[in-house]
């Protein structure tokens, strides 16, 4: 049962990042009109650096694909980790209304990392 739940939550986590990355590349979801001013300013600043949003999108898509493949899940979690740090900081400072969802995503990511501790220990030995 634990394995099935782990695969389910890892899959949901991965699909969220895949959706987000594809949306950054192709912009198929419109920007909400009630976006907080601070967040709109941050997004505008990111868009002014032409290569930054595509880089973040590719990292999200790559991490999501790696997480979907159980053999590479540990690597995918490492790819997504810096993105999750930025998401947490953003929601803790600029848009606290989505903080609970971010904390749920952090819990899933930390669970993935915990399940792959043996693979990470090999990196530092």
CA torsion, ordered 59, 119, 112, 14, to nearest 10 deg = 30
pLDDT of residue 2: 77
- 67, burial (CB in 10 Å: exposed 0-12, middle 13-18, buried 19+): buried
- How does DSSP classify residue 51? T
Does the pTM exceed 0.75? yes
d(CA 14, CA 77): 10
Q: Where are the domains of the chain?
A: 2-124
Q: How confident is the model at residue 4 (pLDDT cuts 50, 70, 90)?
A: very high
Axis crossing angle, helix 73-93 with helix 52-68, rounded to the nearest 10: 130
Angle at 25 between CA 88 and CA 19, to 5 degrees: 55
Query: Are the CB atoms for 105 and 20 separated by under 8 Å?
Result: no
Helix, strand, coil shares, percent, the chain, to 5: 85, 0, 15
pLDDT over 80 (residue 125): no
Q: How confident is the model at residue 112 (pLDDT cuts 50, 70, 90)?
A: very high
Q: What is the mean predicted confidence (pLDDT) over 90-107?
A: 92
Q: How confident is the model at residue 95 (pLDDT cuts 50, 70, 90)?
A: confident
């Amino acid at each position: 049962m634990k394995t099935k739940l782990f695969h389910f939550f890892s899959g949901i986590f991965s699909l969220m990042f895949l959706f987000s990355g594809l949306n950054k590349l192709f912009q198929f979801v419109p920007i909400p009109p009630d976006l907080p001013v601070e967040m709109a300013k941050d997004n505008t600043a990111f868009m002014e650096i032409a290569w930054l949003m595509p880089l973040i999108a590719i990292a999200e898509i790559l991490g999501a694909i790696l997480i979907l493949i159980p053999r590479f899940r540990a690597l995918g979690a490492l790819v997504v980790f810096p993105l999750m740090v930025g998401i947490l900081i953003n929601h803790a400072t600029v848009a606290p209304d989505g903080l609970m969802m971010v904390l749920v995503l952090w819990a899933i990511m930390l669970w993935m990392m915990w399940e792959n501790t043996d693979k990470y220990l090999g990196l530092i030995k």
